[in-house]
Amino acid sequence: MLTVAPEQALAFRVAGHNLHRRTDALTAIAACGLQDYPPGWVEVALNARTKEKVDPRKTVTVNAMRGAPYLVPSKEVAIFTAALLPDDEDLGSVVNGREAREAKDAGYTVREALDRVAEAARDGLADGPLGRDDFHQALRERLPENLLPWCRGCQSHHVRAGFWRTLGLMGVTRMDGKARYALAEPARMPPAKARDELARRFLRCFGPASHTQLAKWAQTAPKHAKALFEGISDELEEVRLDGSKRWLLAADAKRLEQPPKATGIRMLGGHDPYVGQPDRETLAPDKRLRTKMFPAVGRPGVILDHGRLAGLWKGRKRGDMLAIEVTWLDRTVELGREANAVAKARGCERAEIRS
């Protein structure tokens, strides 16, 4: 049984996320998808992994892990959507507990509620994509009142987010431009193959890991996550990380023992997939640092220096300039070129760095 230190695991994950060296765009996206939340930040994630332009004919944005919008390869969309869906009895873990209880109080199982919402979405989007407000209006016009609870934040009746976001996992909807929803293309991958590949992608990016960490990362039922690991059980090797039992693809054991060396500086958004590791304690062992990295609102970005966590950053647009405030951890590095690239990814001409 292999035993590894946290530093080895992090170096392995840096490489799994293609942050050790830049690669082609589709490879960067295919690793575990790239979250486009907050909206527009997928460009920062892409800048950290590739210098290529994304071919829109080969990618699609869809509500995937945790219902968040993700940019994923079109041919592999089922890996990041349908593969996450547990059996009907555990669908509450996907839409979230409160919304599952509301559906039950309205007289529906979660499956029944999802099927009603899916039917309404297919009908409402039959004539083409709709913006967010028009999409929700289309659902209002097609659903019974007991599936349209009052939302104090929006001051309106609408379908709960857990239900319309899960339409992405069901293969019903995709994104078509900013805040526009459209009908999804049929999945091109058999469900069993998609489930197995999801487990592999997760372990390549976040291993060594447990099935409960997969469930947390994806927001799916632990029982379903365990079944995903069992589907590739003959490919797995047990690993000990900080005394905890984890799993890794056996084919990646040598890569874990001797991870590829990372080069260069990377600036990541606070919701970047690498920052969103399900075991935050490995990424940032110091509790005070974790508190700074993961506040309730306004997550800072992360700076990697040759794969190692070097600082936190926040950016504010001021005209054509992105003002970047940096908090260094134990050393400073030269950010100029990378900061300007991030500024352009955020729609600015240049960056101004303040420490």
| Segment 187-197, tens digit of pLDDT | 889 999 999 99
Q: Helices in the chain by DSSP H: which ranges?
A: 6-16, 25-30, 42-49, 92-95, 97-105, 110-124, 132-140, 161-169, 191-206, 211-218, 222-231, 253-257, 280-283, 287-293, 336-345
Predicted structure pTM score: 0.95
- Mean pLDDT for the chain overall: 95
Using 50, 70 and 90 to split pLDDT, how confident is the model at 227?
A: very high
User: Given a cut of 80, is residue 153 above it in pLDDT?
Assistant: no
User: Given a cut of 80, is residue 177 above it in pLDDT?
Assistant: no
pLDDT at site 206:
98
User: 72 near 42, Cβ under 8 Å?
Assistant: no
User: Given a cut of 80, is residue 223 above it in pLDDT?
Assistant: yes
End-to-end C-alpha distance for the chain, whole angstroms: 44
More confident residue, 92 or 152: 92
Question: The dihedral of CA 129, 130, 135, 137: what is its sign?
Answer: negative
pLDDT at site 120:
98
Residue located via tokens 């001051």: 155
Using 50, 70 and 90 to split pLDDT, how confident is the model at 301?
A: very high
Domain boundaries, the chain: 82-183, 265-354
Q: How many CB atoms lie within 10 A of CB 62?
A: 25
- CA distance linking residue 84 with residue 70, whole number of Å: 14
User: 81 near 51, Cβ under 8 Å?
Assistant: no
Q: How far is CA 205 from CA 64, 324, 336, in A?
A: 16, 28, 28
